[in-house]
Amino acid sequence: MTIEDNIQHLLDKREEAKMGGGEKRIESQHKKGKFTARERIDMLLDEGSFEEFDMFVTHHSTDFGLEKQKFFTDGVITGHGTIDGRVVYVFSQDFTIIGGSLSETYARKICKVMDQALKVGAPIIGINDSGGARIQEGVKSLAGYAEIFQRNIMASGVIPQISAVFGPCAGGAVYSPALTDFIFMSKENSYMFVTGPKVTKTVTGEDITTDDLGGPDVHGKKSGVAHFIAEDEEEGILLIRKLLTFLPQNNLEEPPITECNDPIDRKEDLLNDIIPSNPNQPYNISDVIYSIVDNSEFLQVQRHYAKNIITGFAKFNGMPVGIVANQPDFLAGVLDINASRKAARFVRFCDAFNLPVVTLVDVPGFLPGSAQEYAGIIIHGAKLLFAYGEATVPKVTITLRKSYGGAHDVMGSKQLRGDINYAWPSAEIAVMGPAGAIEVLNGKEIHAIENDVERKKFITQKENEYRDKFANPYEAASYGYIDDVIEPRNTRFRIIRALQALATKKDTNPPKKHSNIPL
Ligand code: HXC
């Protein structure tokens, strides 16, 4: 063969590999409204930056006639490229090749990019669209999954791990995305479940559709498994690119600081009037968040799940931070099991990747009741407490209004190593709200008053006394638990100043194998 022939041979092989499972299957993928594995990579990475590994890998199985179903890549496209000029490693499952099912060699390809991402210290992004374990390969496929899981675990907290689910993701296969930091699902065609509808019906008798069992609505709103629900694959990919703008490449790097064209001393007069005069009236904490962060840009995580707490990424003077905020507009911003779990995982992510945590507090307490107690609010609430207390990144906490009871301690308080704790003049920091406190302290006297009008008068008088004492930030400030009481409209500037001061913060935890967070 001449050199030209050799090169042509290579180009032909490349062309064959690029056709995946063939034209018909690509067509069928498109008909379902899905992009192919390669198209997804092209959309995700900077143009022309993709370097593919293992294009010519094939499986070597002969059981069940598999030797007749050999395709280059073996059903997963792997390699590296850049996003906004920064290196990322990727794998993208190709449903057109044997349903994107995972074989021994396929798993080895994924492990190769995971290993290299870890060595290089670059994020790994996996795009899932697969029928799961390649049934014909049996235990070899199961072992392949376990190899991936082990790497997910080792990479956890070292490099950002991101999963997109743009098709089926079923059985044990769900556990790789579950071990990663963020799961993105597209509204069309995506689902995740440990056991599908057919087996569910056989085992439990429950009749349920794929979508109702594990569609994006389920995981975005009910289970909280998915962190981002995108309208479609294109939006999902844009969101992944957006997310990376807030993250460092690995746990040893600082998050990327960008130039900020939003004045750092921008005053927001509306904040001086945002707290309603009636303490039981809600307001939307998002209005506060959007008004204080750079250019009103805020990327919410788990937007539709546990809406009583808001978590997400934003920048202050170009510095990426994680924001945690109670949402008075939903269940009065109470801390319940789901909100505690959601925020705890978020705070731990921020801590692992050197993102300061800015906490906005307006919390009436933990949600009372048997449903929460039976489901373990004690343990789940402790997760959030643990996450804040363990975190060594800069922690800036602003108390806007209520900060009651255990929830006060949990939400980035001074004693959980909060670095800078400010309060608005409207802050109420106490063991509990006035009504509950008066019932406990003056219950006997209250119930001894027979006349309704007299009783109400007495309650109001006692509540006012309590409010004067505790429903303000000055009692806490007098002990130094609050570093300063600030004018709401200056909040952006005060947070930026705090973050600037804390930029070189060093804090450590005692040496240990690992903590024993209440799981
Ligand atoms: C081998 C598979 C496959 C699999 C799909 N295919 N899944 N081949 N192993 N797991 C093949 C099909 O035979 C078919 O081949 C092609 O891929 C496309 O699949 P279709 O069924 O035609 O596609 P569609 O109608 O879109 O249905 C998609 C699907 C279905 C819902 C995902 O394929 C399906 O139910 N697959 C099996 C899912 C499953 O139970 N997997 C095991 C989960 S347990 P041809 O040649 O006909 O085109 C698991 C354990 C992991 O994964 C454990 C880790 C610890």
Query: For the segment 88-107, what is each residue's pLDDT rounded down to a tens digit?
Result: 999 999 999 999 999 999 99
Neighbours of 423 (CB within 10 A): 26
CB 318 within 8 A of CB 259: yes
- Residue 413 to residue 479: CA distance in whole angstroms: 13
- Residue 28 to residue 23: CA distance in whole angstroms: 9
Question: Does ligand 1 come within 6 angstroms of the Cβ of 123?
Answer: no
Distance 152 CA to ligand 1 centre (A): 23
- Residue 153 to residue 262: CA distance in whole angstroms: 39
Decide if 264 is inside a domain.
no
Question: Which residue do the tokens 């389920």 mark?
Answer: 218
Decide if 514 is inside a domain.
no
Question: Which residue do the tokens 């290089």 mark?
Answer: 120
What are phi and psi for residue 213, nearest 5 degrees?
A: -85, -40
Distance 190 CA to ligand 1 centre (A): 14
The minimum-distance atom of ligand 1 relative to the CA of 32 is 26
- Are 365 and 464 in the same domain? no
Decide if 516 is inside a domain.
no
What are phi and psi for residue 274, nearest 5 degrees?
A: -75, -25
- Taking alpha carbons only, the member of 44, 21, 183, 13 closest to residue 95 is 21
450-477 tens-digit pLDDT: 999 999 999 999 999 988 888 899 999 9
What are phi and psi for residue 91, nearest 5 degrees?
A: -140, 145
Q: Whose CA is nearest to atom 9 of ligand 1?
A: 134
- Residue 339 to residue 308: CA distance in whole angstroms: 7
Q: Which two tokens stand for residue 88?
A: 């990322």
pLDDT at 174: 96
- Are 118 and 182 in the same domain? yes
- Are 200 and 81 in the same domain? yes
Question: Which residue do the tokens 């694959």 mark?
Answer: 233
Question: Does ligand 1 come within 6 angstroms of the Cβ of 131?
Answer: yes
- Residue 88 to residue 109: CA distance in whole angstroms: 16
Decide if 262 is inside a domain.
no
The minimum-distance atom of ligand 1 relative to the CA of 145 is 54
Question: Does ligand 1 come within 6 angstroms of the Cβ of 99?
Answer: yes
Q: Whose CA is nearest to atom 51 of ligand 1?
A: 172
- Residue 93 to residue 73: CA distance in whole angstroms: 10
3-14 tens-digit pLDDT: 999 999 999 999
Question: Does ligand 1 come within 6 angstroms of the Cβ of 98?
Answer: yes
Distance 135 CA to ligand 1 centre (A): 8
CB 343 within 8 A of CB 387: yes
pLDDT at 75: 98
Q: Whose CA is nearest to atom 47 of ligand 1?
A: 98
Q: Residue 299 corresponds to which amino acid?
A: L
Average pLDDT score over residue span 284-300: 98
The minimum-distance atom of ligand 1 relative to the CA of 25 is 48
- Residue 315 to residue 257: CA distance in whole angstroms: 9
305 pLDDT above the threshold of 90: yes
pLDDT at 435: 85
- Residue 361 to residue 515: CA distance in whole angstroms: 26
pLDDT at 279: 87
- Taking alpha carbons only, the member of 90, 400, 112, 358 closest to residue 246 is 358
Q: Whose CA is nearest to atom 41 of ligand 1?
A: 132
- Are 371 and 477 in the same domain? yes
CB 145 within 8 A of CB 172: yes
Distance 133 CA to ligand 1 centre (A): 8
Q: What is the CATH number of the domain that holds 117?
A: 3.90.226.10
- Are 446 and 391 in the same domain? no
Average pLDDT score over residue span 262-275: 97
Decide if 93 is inside a domain.
yes
Average pLDDT score over residue span 263-292: 96
Average pLDDT score over residue span 146-155: 98
- Residue 412 to residue 419: CA distance in whole angstroms: 9
Lowest average pLDDT, out of 132-141, 298-307, 312-321, 384-393, goes to: 132-141
Decide if 293 is inside a domain.
yes
Question: Does ligand 1 come within 6 angstroms of the Cβ of 91?
Answer: no
CB 321 within 8 A of CB 357: yes
In which band, very low, low, confident or very high, does the pLDDT at 148 lie, cut at 50, 70 and 90?
Answer: very high
Query: Of the residues 26, 32, 34, 101, which should be mutated to test ligand 1's pocket, given the most ligand atoms within 8 Å of the CB?
Result: 101
Query: How many percent of the chain have pLDDT more than 70?
Result: 100
- Are 460 and 405 in the same domain? no
CB 130 within 8 A of CB 144: no
Domain of residue 449, residue span: 432-470
In which band, very low, low, confident or very high, does the pLDDT at 493 lie, cut at 50, 70 and 90?
Answer: very high
pLDDT at 512: 97
- Are 458 and 344 in the same domain? no
Distance 79 CA to ligand 1 centre (A): 24
Q: Which two tokens stand for residue 51?
A: 């370097």
Average pLDDT score over residue span 176-197: 96
pLDDT at 432: 87
Q: Whose CA is nearest to atom 38 of ligand 1?
A: 131
Q: Mind telling me the catalytic residues? A: 171-172, 406-407
Average pLDDT score over residue span 405-412: 96
172 pLDDT above the threshold of 90: no
Query: Of the residues 28, 135, 175, 211, which should be mutated to test ligand 1's pocket, given the most ligand atoms within 8 Å of the CB?
Result: 135
CB 326 within 8 A of CB 363: yes
Q: For strand 168-170 and strand 484-485, is the pairing parallel, antiparallel, or unpaired? A: unpaired
- To the nearest whole number, what is the mean pLDDT of the chain? 96
- Are 62 and 166 in the same domain? yes
- Residue 214 to residue 128: CA distance in whole angstroms: 14
Q: Which two tokens stand for residue 333?
A: 């911003």
- Are 132 and 70 in the same domain? yes
- Residue 392 to residue 201: CA distance in whole angstroms: 47
Distance 168 CA to ligand 1 centre (A): 9
Average pLDDT score over residue span 26-31: 98
> pTM value?
0.96
Average pLDDT score over residue span 484-504: 98
* Beta carbons within 8 Å of 342's beta carbon, 6+ residues apart: 224, 302, 305, 306, 309, 311
65 pLDDT above the threshold of 90: no
- Are 291 and 358 in the same domain? yes
Q: Whose CA is nearest to atom 48 of ligand 1?
A: 98
404 pLDDT above the threshold of 90: yes
244 pLDDT above the threshold of 90: yes
3-state helix, strand, coil in the chain (%, to 5): 45, 20, 35
- Are 198 and 305 in the same domain? no
Question: Does ligand 1 come within 6 angstroms of the Cβ of 34?
Answer: no
* Beta carbons within 8 Å of 142's beta carbon, 6+ residues apart: 133, 172
Decide if 413 is inside a domain.
yes
Average pLDDT score over residue span 260-288: 96
Query: Of the residues 34, 97, 98, 140, which should be mutated to test ligand 1's pocket, given the most ligand atoms within 8 Å of the CB?
Result: 98
- Taking alpha carbons only, the member of 317, 232, 253, 229 closest to residue 86 is 253
Question: Which residue do the tokens 């597209």 mark?
Answer: 186
Q: Which two tokens stand for residue 207?
A: 């009749």
426-446 tens-digit pLDDT: 999 998 888 888 989 999 999
The minimum-distance atom of ligand 1 relative to the CA of 171 is 44
pLDDT at 467: 86
Question: Does ligand 1 come within 6 angstroms of the Cβ of 133?
Answer: yes
The minimum-distance atom of ligand 1 relative to the CA of 170 is 43
Q: Whose CA is nearest to atom 33 of ligand 1?
A: 131
Q: 359 in helix, strand or coil? A: strand
- Taking alpha carbons only, the member of 439, 438, 398, 392 closest to residue 421 is 398
User: Domains in the chain: how many in total?
Assistant: 3
The minimum-distance atom of ligand 1 relative to the CA of 99 is 17
Position with higher pLDDT, 238 vs 172? 238
Question: Does ligand 1 come within 6 angstroms of the Cβ of 322?
Answer: no
Decide if 119 is inside a domain.
yes
- Are 444 and 495 in the same domain? no
